[in-house]
């Protein structure tokens, strides 16, 4: 399923899900810990079924999947309601917060999702994870922390741009995209790394959109725009290199269209931040061209998706954010 792109490379690895499942089935965890584990499991199931629905061709199967998705989503929200997030944070609470934020976002409640991600960001700071410089690949716990960091970063910057609110996660002493381990056999890991890179561009763009009053930001706007445009070009070149030869898996095809849509939407926004583009015909035409490519990518996503009920928010998310 991972090779088909149905398993999203979020903060919950397969090994983590197996450990949580065994703990629940063997009844070795209770109370709040059991609720946190269940929330993560139900969230993962909800996301998995949502992605499966995008490429399911059988109408009867789609109906069963949709019913299952609703059951798992309801169970996730019930766990989220019962968890006490006023307790001292730990890794399991952080994982539960991010899992809850993902399902809430799937339901279109962006504000609540942003709030949960802000709590997750505070938990990361409270636990000191934002200062970690190295991660032992042999350590299961450090791998879980690493995944939480890049996923929280992606969610925090993306949701903040969508809502035009200040992000909650502080600046990290490393490039968050370096935390995403990629595998050529798992194309979805390449997509996630690109999205984290684009989230970094959004973080800079958001500071300009919000007119960050810090002198070092106001006085270096042109320099910052030049840098993120250079970074966008580099990411665009990387996308072109990675997407060929094209995959025959429908879910992977949709994912590349989603990445294209995300890229061109952000590129359009960055160009619009440059006041000189309003007076430069070439830049105006470039901005319009990017906007059209974003629309074309969105239409390509719709073409691959078999029904409106299976359109997932991960690409509608971008459409709302930048239009």
Q: Which two tokens stand for residue 84?
A: 């006490």
**pLDDT band, residue 61 (cuts 50/70/90):** confident
DSSP 267-298: HHHHHHH-GGGGT-HHHHHHHHHHHHHHHHHH
Q: Using the structure block, give the residue that is written with the tokens 């070092």.
A: 216
Among 136-145, 223-232, 295-304, the range scoring the smallest mean pLDDT is 295-304
- pLDDT band at residue 187, thresholds of 50, 70 and 90? confident
Most confident of 5-19, 26-40, 237-251: 26-40
Q: What are phi and psi of 188, to 5 degrees?
A: -60, -30
Rounded to 5°, the CA angle 119-321-155 comes to 30
Question: Is residue 180's pLDDT more than 70?
Answer: yes
Q: At what angle do helices 250-273 and 187-209 cross, to 10 degrees?
A: 20
Query: Average pLDDT over the chain, rounded to whole?
Result: 84
- pLDDT bin (cut points 50, 70, 90) of residue 262 is confident
List pLDDT tens digits, range 306-317: 333 333 334 344
Output 128 or 190, whichever has higher pLDDT. 128
Q: Quick one: pLDDT band at residue 54, thresholds 50, 70, 90? A: confident
For the chain, the domains span: 14-322
pLDDT tens-digit map of 78-87: 999 999 999 9
Mean pLDDT computed over 228-238: 92
Confidence of residue 322 (pLDDT cuts 50, 70, 90): very low
- CB of 194 closer than 8 Å to CB of 9: no
pLDDT at position 233 is 92
* Residue tagged 């966008």 (tokens): 232
Two structure tokens written together for 271: 């160009």
Q: Classify the C-alpha dihedral 11-17-18-24 as positive or negative.
A: positive
Residue 321's pLDDT is what? 39
pLDDT for residue 125: 97
User: What is the percent of the chain where pLDDT is above 70?
Assistant: 84
- At residue 213, the pLDDT reads 58
Distance CA 278, CA 72 (A): 48
Instruction: Please check whether residue 164 is in contact with residue 140, taking contact to mean a CB–CB distance below 8 angstroms.
Output: no
Give CA torsion, residues 2, 200, 316, 81, to 10 deg.
80
Residue carrying structure tokens 């019962």: 82
Question: The tokens 């990017």 sit on which residue?
Answer: 290
User: Of how many residues is the chain composed?
Assistant: 323
- Say what the pTM is: 0.86
pLDDT at 221 over 90: no
Round to whole Å and give the CA distance between 226 and 228: 6
Tens of pLDDT, residues 97-134: 999 999 999 888 999 999 999 999 999 999 999 999 88
Task: Choose between 36 and 292: higher pLDDT.
Answer: 36
DSSP string covering 80-147, please? Answer: HHH--TTSPP-HHHHHHHHHHHHHHHHTT-HHHHHHHHHHHHHHHHHHTGGG-----TT-HHHHHHHH
CA distances from 69 to 44, 53, 105, 151 (A): 10, 9, 14, 22
Confidence of residue 319 (pLDDT cuts 50, 70, 90): very low
CA–CA distance, 268 with 285 (Å, rounded to integer): 11
Give pLDDT, residue 257. Answer: 80
- Could you tell me the maximum CA-CA distance found in the chain, to the nearest angstrom? 67
Residues paired with residue 183 on neighbouring β-strands, in sequence order:
186
**Residue 304 or 123, more confident:** 123
pLDDT given for residue 301 in this prediction: 62
Strand partners, 186: 183
Query: Which of 114, 120, 127 minimizes the C-alpha distance to 161?
Result: 114
């Amino acid at each position: 399923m991972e090779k088909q792109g149905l398993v999203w490379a979020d903060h919950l690895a397969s090994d983590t899900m197996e450990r949580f499942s065994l703990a629940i089935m063997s009844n070795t965890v209770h109370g709040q810990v059991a609720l946190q584990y269940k929330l993560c499991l139900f969230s993962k199931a909800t996301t998995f079924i949502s992605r499966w629905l995008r490429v399911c061709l059988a109408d009867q199967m789609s109906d069963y999947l949709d019913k299952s998705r609703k059951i798992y989503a309801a169970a996730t929200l019930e766990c989220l309601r019962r968890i006490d997030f006023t307790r001292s944070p730990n890794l399991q609470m952080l994982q539960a917060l991010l899992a809850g934020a993902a399902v809430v976002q799937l339901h279109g409640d962006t504000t609540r999702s942003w709030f949960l991600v802000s709590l997750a960001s505070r938990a990361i700071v409270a636990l000191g994870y934002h200062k970690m410089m190295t991660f032992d690949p042999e350590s299961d716990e450090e791998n879980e922390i690493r995944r939480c960091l890049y996923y929280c970063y992606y969610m925090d910057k993306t949701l903040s741009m969508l809502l035009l609110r200040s992000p909650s996660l502080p600046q990290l002493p490393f490039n968050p995209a370096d935390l995403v381990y990629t595998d050529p056999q798992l194309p979805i890991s390449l997509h996630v790394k690109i999205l984290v890179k684009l989230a970094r561009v959004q973080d800079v763009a958001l500071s300009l959109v919000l007119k960050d009053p810090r002198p070092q930001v106001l006085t270096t706007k042109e320099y910052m725009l030049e840098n993120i445009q250079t970074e966008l070009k580099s990411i665009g070149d990387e996308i072109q290199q990675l997407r060929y030869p094209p995959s025959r898996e429908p879910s992977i095809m949709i994912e590349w269209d989603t990445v294209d849509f995300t890229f061109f939407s952000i590129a359009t926004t960055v160009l619009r931040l440059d006041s000189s583009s309003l007076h430069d015909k070439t830049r105006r035409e470039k901005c319009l061209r990017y906007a059209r490519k974003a629309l074309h990518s969105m239409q390509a996503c719709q073409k691959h998706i078999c029904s409106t009920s299976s359109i997932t928010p991960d690409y509608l998310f971008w459409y709302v954010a930048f239009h």
